[in-house]
């Protein structure tokens, strides 16, 4: 809410108090966060400003400007209950201090963030009834009101939700997130945040992979090979159905270096690697027109490997908002020009953490721009036979909460979802969990067949190519190839 608060804040040159001592303390407090900032991090010292403001209102309790600024500092310091208290005191002292309704805007947003949904509705309504309300803020407050109203209904009608931690084979005291699963559900690839060996970073992201044993349990996860994992950051992986194609994001450091043998176009780019036998080759900057001078991240590859969904930052957007884009694989092996999803899916706020289900029709994503519980919520949209996406549906409470939810992916069967959470009872920080989706949020069950191509006489593995056609119209539906070293293949069926 910080940027919104700055937009709303009004500081007057004349004050409501005559106390020179209170005014002096107030003016000193205004500069205190920057003047006494942390020498190492540059973090503003809001507690110092709050201490001075408390002294100011101690000398002049009706000094509403000091009460208001104290609310601002509490908010910046992430003490939302205290911020609400101070804003309400400022309103009680001077109900007309904000002709644009800005303080009601603060209060609505803070109450929404705390899950005080009825109070959020109350303050949104007051703001929206104000004939002098800031037009620039009205759309945001309207979304807050819709979100709070949705949340009241969602809490009263909770979904069945029983998340299960994937266990110590996957999760550690370090953060694990962005899971990616093969169509057979036997291989899990994810991101882990580690202490960095690079002197330029305190932490770095690497990939780890786990496979299920014959009993269906996850084996201890192992790091990906060093041509994939580097001393720089790798994150947000997506796998093809057979697990032999990998697309992920790599970001440049301050010098523009993406990692050994990697070339990029923007701050963060998508890279591609291919597995043949047991060896990963690459990675290579994704060919075609996906990567740009902006940052591209969080890719999701369709089961047939022909469609790529990803997130792109908006050029020149200082708020770091992003949209979901889609690109199609061309016959020459390059990716076509990426196009944004419709504006009833992408919003002026942030869309991220996109996942296309193996059915090719069900898309899950996270957003801060649709009505929800507060923060970032998870949504689902479905593509019809004409290629049109449905209006996004919120996955409901308690899957979504007042906190940020993202990093969701769904198994081929369409019933089990995986996500990252720092909820209590885990191994530390973010862990990967699974849960059964409510029936209304499930994707279409996707089946597959797998096998082994080999020479009948020598039993040696052979390369093979598979093409599946619709007999009613002759349309080619799926093209797949067996691993030329192992002869194994997995083919998802639509």
Which residues, including other chains, have CB under 8 Å from residue 47's CB and lie 6 or more apart? 77
Averaged pLDDT for residues 56-62: 97
Is the confidence at residue 434, as pLDDT, over 80? yes
What Å distances lie between residue 422 and 169, 198, 406, CA to CA?
A: 17, 26, 12
Q: Are 142 and 135 in contact (CB under 8 A)?
A: no
Residue 383 DSSP class:
B
> Which residues does residue 223 pair with via DSSP β-bridges, in sequence order?
208
What Å distances lie between residue 359 and 97, 250, 330, CA to CA?
A: 55, 27, 21
Averaged pLDDT of the chain: 92
SS3 assignment, position 347: coil
Averaged pLDDT for residues 76-81: 97
Confidence of residue 256 (pLDDT cuts 50, 70, 90): confident
Q: b vs e for 393-425, b when ≥16 Cβ sit within 10 Å of the residue's Cβ? A: ebbbbebbbbeebbbbbbbbebbbbbbbbeeee
Summarised one tens digit per residue, pLDDT across range 349-404 is: 999 999 999 999 999 999 999 999 998 999 999 999 999 999 999 999 999 999 99
Averaged pLDDT for residues 113-128: 97
Confidence of residue 125 (pLDDT cuts 50, 70, 90): very high
pLDDT score of 13:
57
Long-range CB pairs of 155-158, under 8 A, 24+ apart, other chains included? 155/117, 155/397, 157/396, 157/397, 158/396, 158/397, 158/398
pLDDT score of 200:
65
pLDDT score of 12:
47
Look-up of token digits 């309790």: 61
> Which residues does residue 310 pair with via DSSP β-bridges, in sequence order?
325
SS3 assignment, position 476: strand
pLDDT score of 254:
81
pLDDT score of 54:
98
Summarised one tens digit per residue, pLDDT across range 281-324 is: 999 999 999 999 888 999 999 998 899 999 999 876 666 789 99
Lowest mean pLDDT among 59-68, 159-168, 290-299: 290-299
pLDDT score of 10:
44
pLDDT score of 11:
44
Look-up of token digits 């200082």: 318
d(CA 386, CA 134): 41
Lowest mean pLDDT among 55-69, 206-220, 309-323: 309-323
Q: Taking the model in full, what pTM does it have?
A: 0.91
Return the C-alpha torsion angle 267, 253, 180, 400, nearest 10: -70
Is the confidence at residue 160, as pLDDT, over 50? yes
Q: Are 45 and 38 in contact (CB under 8 A)?
A: yes
Which residues, including other chains, have CB under 8 Å from residue 139's CB and lie 6 or more apart? 348
Is the confidence at residue 6, as pLDDT, over 60? no
Lowest mean pLDDT among 74-88, 120-134, 408-422, 453-467: 453-467
d(CA 208, CA 237): 10
Summarised one tens digit per residue, pLDDT across range 23-46 is: 999 999 999 999 999 988 899 999
Averaged pLDDT for residues 420-435: 91
In this structure, what token pair is assigned to residue 116? 């005080």
Cβ neighbours of 158 (radius 10 Å):
11
Averaged pLDDT for residues 259-270: 86
């Amino acid at each position: 809410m910080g940027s919104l608060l700055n937009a709303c804040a009004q500081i007057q040159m004349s004050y409501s108090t005559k106390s020179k001592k209170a005014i002096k303390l107030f003016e000193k407090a205004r500069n205190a966060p920057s003047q006494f900032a942390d020498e190492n991090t540059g973090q503003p010292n809001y507690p110092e400003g709050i201490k001075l403001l408390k002294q100011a209102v101690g000398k002049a309790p009706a000094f509403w400007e000091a009460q208001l600024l104290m609310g601002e500092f509490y908010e910046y310091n992430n003490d939302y209950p205290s911020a609400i208290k101070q804003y309400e005191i400022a309103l009680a002292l001077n109900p007309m201090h904000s002709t644009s309704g800005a303080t009601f805007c603060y209060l609505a947003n803070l109450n929404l963030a705390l899950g005080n949904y009825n109070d959020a509705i109350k303050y949104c309504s007051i703001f929206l009834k104000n004939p002098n309300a800031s037009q620039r803020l009205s759309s945001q407050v309207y979304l807050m009101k819709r979100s709070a109203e949705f949340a009241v209904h969602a809490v009263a009608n909770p979904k069945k939700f029983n998340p299960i931690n994937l266990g110590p084979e996957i999760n550690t005291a370090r953060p694990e997130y962005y899971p990616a699963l093969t169509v057979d559900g036997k291989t899990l690839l994810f991101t882990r945040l580690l202490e960095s060996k690079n002197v330029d970073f305190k932490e770095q992201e690497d990939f780890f992979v786990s496979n299920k044993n014959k009993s269906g349990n996850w084996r201890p996860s192992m790091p990906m090979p060093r041509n994939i994992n580097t001393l720089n950051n790798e994150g947000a992986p997506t796998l093809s159905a057979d697990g032999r194609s990998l697309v992920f994001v790599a970001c440049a450091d301050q010098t523009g270096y993406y990692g050994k043998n990697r070339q990029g176009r923007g701050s963060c780019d998508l890279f591609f690697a291919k597995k043949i036998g047991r060896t990963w080759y690459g990675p290579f900057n994704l060919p075609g027109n996906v990567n740009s001078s902006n940052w591209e991240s969080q890719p999701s590859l369709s089961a047939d490997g022909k469609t790529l969904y990803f997130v792109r930052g908006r050029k020149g957007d200082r708020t770091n908002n992003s949209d979901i884009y889609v690109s199609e694989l061309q016959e020459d092996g390059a990716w076509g020009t990426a196009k944004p999803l419709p504006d009833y899916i992408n919003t002026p706020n942030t869309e991220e953490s996109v996942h296309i289900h193996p059915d090719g029709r069900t898309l899950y994503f996270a957003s801060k721009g649709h009505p929800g519980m507060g923060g970032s919520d998870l949504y689902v949209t479905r593509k019809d036979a004409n290629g049109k996406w449905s209006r996004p549906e919120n996955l409901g409470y308690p899957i979504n909460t007042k906190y940020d939810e993202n990093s969701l992916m769904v198994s081929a069967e369409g019933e089990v979802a995986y996500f990252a959470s720092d909820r209590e009872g885990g191994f530390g920080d973010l862990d990967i969990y699974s849960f059964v989706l409510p029936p209304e949020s499930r994707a279409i069950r996707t089946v597959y067949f797998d096998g082994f191509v080999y020479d009948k006489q020598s039993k040696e593995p052979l390369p093979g190519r598979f093409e599946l056609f619709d007999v009613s119209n002759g349309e080619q539906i799926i093209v797949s190839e067996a691993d030329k070293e192992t002869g194994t293949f997995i083919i998802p069926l639509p």
